[in-house]
Homo-oligomer: A and B are copies of this chain.
Amino acid sequence: MSDRRTEILKAATRVIVRRGVRGLRVEELAVEAGVSTSLIYYHFGDRAGVLRRTLEFINDRADRYTAERLPDGDPDDARGDLEQVLLLELQDLAEVRENSTAWGELRASAVFDPELREELARATHTWVHEIAELLGRADPAGTAPAHAAAAERLTALLEGLSVRWLSGSLPLEHARRLLREAIAVELAPGRPAV
């Protein structure tokens, strides 16, 4: 697990967080990982390969930390669970910052690089599903399509808030408050037919 290959992927994550996907220089990565540039080509073929694998790596890691959430909350409190899962992404912890930054870069890069889109779509889909399910538990009266739509809105909003936070236009606490309010608004009774 902690072989050089993985070290390189970890280092790549750090470099991406610092410089962005498009700012990643193979040599800077080599220095960061404490290996030669050649080793990087040995393992990943080319720069694009590094990027591809790193994005997979980040995705896996994000799955893992989303999976180990929810320290046994009250099973009745589905709404609390929902809040927790979403707010997990708005925290000033190195790992969260890394994942959010990398995720934002991935999204932004995908606008210009169709190669990245498939992986992105897959991850997004999984995430939206997960949130939709939590919404279903928090609001058993609602329909599945309504939950799916709300999940798309909440995750898209979270992405929007996240970039604003990371780009310094929105203080973390404020972002968290807006997200909590959005959940409240989505779960409010008397949802209108649109």
Q: In the complex, what residue of chain B is closest to A187 when comparing beta carbons?
A: B192
| Contact of A164 with B by CB under 8 A | yes
A 149-186 binary contact with B (CB < 8 Å = 1; else 0):
10011011111110110111110000001101110111
| Contact of A1 with B by CB under 8 A | no
Give the contact-size bracket for chain A: 35 or more
Q: In the complex, what residue of chain B is closest to A189 when comparing beta carbons?
A: B190
Complex Cα distance A31/B21, Å? Answer: 27
A interface with B by C-beta (< 8 Å): 18-20, 22-23, 101, 104-105, 107-112, 114, 117, 120-121, 124, 149, 152-153, 155-161, 163-164, 166-170, 177-178, 180-182, 184-186, 188-192, 194
